[in-house]
Structures are given as structure tokens and as C-alpha cells.
Amino acid sequence: MKNIILLDFDGTITSHDTINIIASLATARNPRAGPIWDDIVTKYVADHADHLSSYKPEACDRTTLTQELEYLASLGSVEQKSVERVAGLGVFAAIPGEEFRAFGEKIVDRGESETGAKGGGVAVHGDEDGEAEAAEKVKLRRGLHGFLDWAGKRGWEFGVVSVNWSREFIEGVLLDREEELGGGRRIKANSINWPAGRVEGYEQDKKVLMTVEDKVRAMRDLVVEIKGEGGQEEEGERNKGKVVYFGDSTTDIGCLIEADLGVVMADEDGSKLLKTLRRVGMEVAHVKDFKGKKGLVWARDFEEVLESRVMERLEG
């Protein structure tokens, strides 16, 4: 029997989103990529706003989980346009995966972060050798490594499910956990193809992970793989293990609900994800106030999760 912890990356493992950090690697190597990236971001924001304004029902009228999941799935068209722009304009062309990995390793703050999804950005510039140099570090959400150490001692397995564009970057940030992540095998995320610079998914058809549905599919794949590793347990015994999922974004809704325990990572009670879940009728208590074993909870950081002892109750 294997109990499994699955974590989103941006805003969950890290205390902030890292897409601009990844882009800064490209702009540091090629200053001309800076304006191109800015244009990609501007067009993405405009596309998202246009989609939001035209989509029916509006957010206030989406009161069921089905309605919200349909809306979130519809955002795939917006994400696809952005991915195609990145490929067409060659922002990440000729950057090998090893460079993304080394970059992630270099800029992560090995100390624990204070909670805060808006803190700890990174400014990257070229040094005299033309290499990217980070002025600030990628911050990890407070208590991450202590939580994973605790869970590992109790036999929990863990993996990462992310719509991030670079699995290799994630590997670098989490280099301290390389063995537990199976040398990267337990990270389900996209990669940036070399030398073309296209964003590609992990599956054979290279479908990019972008939406709620994509993350649920990746979660299921990873659970099957972890449960099937290195053992001859009977199928019934293998399927008894619990799954806990941690996420901070609306793209995590499907995974949070499918898990035995879904933990929303949020800096405050009024986060976008918490508001969305409650709007569609889901109860989400703070982890310290939660007395059950299964369901949805929220926490500011991994220390709060440990202090609540919810993981121990789930084990029992």
C-alpha cells in the first residue's frame, strides 16, 4: 500500500509563479527576446480578458462544479494561442534542457521562504560571460522540506503535477529531492523542445498540459506509475493507499477534488481559488479547524498542515 503526496509547482511548492523567471533565462541570453516576450504576455492578457468578457454564464452565475469545470476547460484555446506564439517567435529556441535545469538549481533559495505568493520575484541579467545571473532567488513555500522529510519518514511517496513549461527547470529547483522524484520521472509537466523551443507535453502525442482536464489526466497517470513501482502487492492492497493533492490555482480544482484530501495553498482566506470553490458550493475549512480525514482544506504553508495533524488522521 502506497500513500502518495502530489504537489502543484507554481504557487504551491514555490511561493510565487515562475513563468517570468523561466522567460528571463531567454531574455538574458538574447536581449532582443525581451520585447518579444513582453508582447506575448500582453497578448495573452488581452486574449484572457476577451474570453472572460464573452463567456457565458458569467462567474457570478456559475454556481455548480460542472459549470466551472466547463469554463476552465474553455480556457485551453487561450493557452494554446500563447504556446503557439512562443513557438513561432522562437523565444526559447536553442536553449537545451540542461540549461533550464542548471538555472533552476542556481536561483532557488535553499532556505525556507516566508509565506507569500507575491514576494520573492527574480531579476535576471547577463554577467560578463553572457550567463544568466539571478539578483533574487526563487522562494519555496514555508515548511516544504520539513513537511516532505516528515512524510518520507512515514513512507509517503511524492510527485509533482504542473502545467509549467519546463520540467527540467522544476528538476533544478527540486534538486535536493532528486532521488525521491525518481530522477525526474515523478514530475508530470511540459518541456521546452530543443532546438526549436516548442513547449511539449510528456505524453507520446506531446499534447501540452494546460487545463484542469490535462492536470487530472497527469495526476492519474502519476498515481498509477507510483503505485506500480517496485512491488508485487495484490491489486486490491495497492489501491488502498491514500492520495493527497496540494494546489493553489483554479487549474488544480479537478485534482483537489479527486484526491482523498485536497489542500488549497493560499496566503489568505479570500484567494481566487477559495472563492471559486465556495461559489460552486464546496466547503473548504482552514486545516487547523478541520476535524475529518477526507475532503478539502486550505493552509497558508506546509507548517500549518503538519501542525494540524490532518495527515496523521488520514493515515489512520
Q: What is the pLDDT of residues 85-113, one digit of tens each?
A: 999 999 999 999 999 999 999 999 876 54
Question: pLDDT band at residue 190, thresholds of 50, 70 and 90?
Answer: very high
Give the number of other CB atoms < 10 A from CB of residue 60. Answer: 7
Q: Is the pLDDT confidence value at 118 over 70?
A: no
User: Mind listing the pLDDT tens digit for each residue in 22-41?
Assistant: 999 999 999 899 999 999 99
The CA radius of gyration of the chain, in Å to the nearest whole number, is 19
Q: What pLDDT shows up at residue 236?
A: 61
Q: What pLDDT shows up at residue 286?
A: 98
Identify the CATH number of the domain defined by range 1-316.
Answer: 3.40.50.1000
**More reliable by pLDDT, 166 or 232:** 166
Beta bridge partners of 38: none
Instruction: Say which residue the cell 507548517 belongs to.
Output: 303
Q: Is the pLDDT confidence value at 235 over 70?
A: no
User: Mind listing the pLDDT tens digit for each residue in 60-80?
Assistant: 999 999 999 999 999 999 999
DSSP string of the chain, one letter each residue: ---EEEE-IIIIIBSS--HHHHHHHHHHH-TTHHHHHHHHHHHHHHHHHHHHHH-SS-GGG--SHHHHHHHHHHTHHHHHHHHHHHHHHTTTTT--HHHHHHHHHHHB-SSPPPS-TTS----EEE-TTS-EEESS-BPBPTTHHHHHHHHHHTT-EEEEE---S-HHHHHHHTGGGTTTTGGGTTEE--EE-TTT--EE-SSTT-PPP-SHHHHHHHHHHHHHHHHTSS----HHHHTT--EEEEE-SGGGHHHHHHSSEEEEE-SSTT-HHHHHHHHTT---EEGGG--SSSEEEEESSHHHHHHHTHHHHHH-
Q: Is the pLDDT confidence value at 178 over 70?
A: yes
Q: What pLDDT shows up at residue 230?
A: 66
Question: pLDDT band at residue 222, thresholds of 50, 70 and 90?
Answer: very high
How confident is the prediction for the chain on average, in pLDDT? 91
Residues 237, 111: Cα–Cα separation, whole Å:
38
**More reliable by pLDDT, 131 or 165:** 165
Q: Which long-range contacts (CB under 8 A, 24 or more apart) does 33-40 make?
A: 33/91, 36/89, 36/91, 37/91, 40/82, 40/85, 40/86, 40/89, 40/91
Domain boundaries, the chain: 1-316
Q: Is the pLDDT confidence value at 115 over 50?
A: no
**What average pLDDT does range 145-155 have in this prediction?**
97
Share of the chain above pLDDT 90, in %: 85
Q: Is the pLDDT confidence value at 83 over 50?
A: yes
**What average pLDDT does range 162-183 have in this prediction?**
97
Q: What pLDDT shows up at residue 125?
A: 41
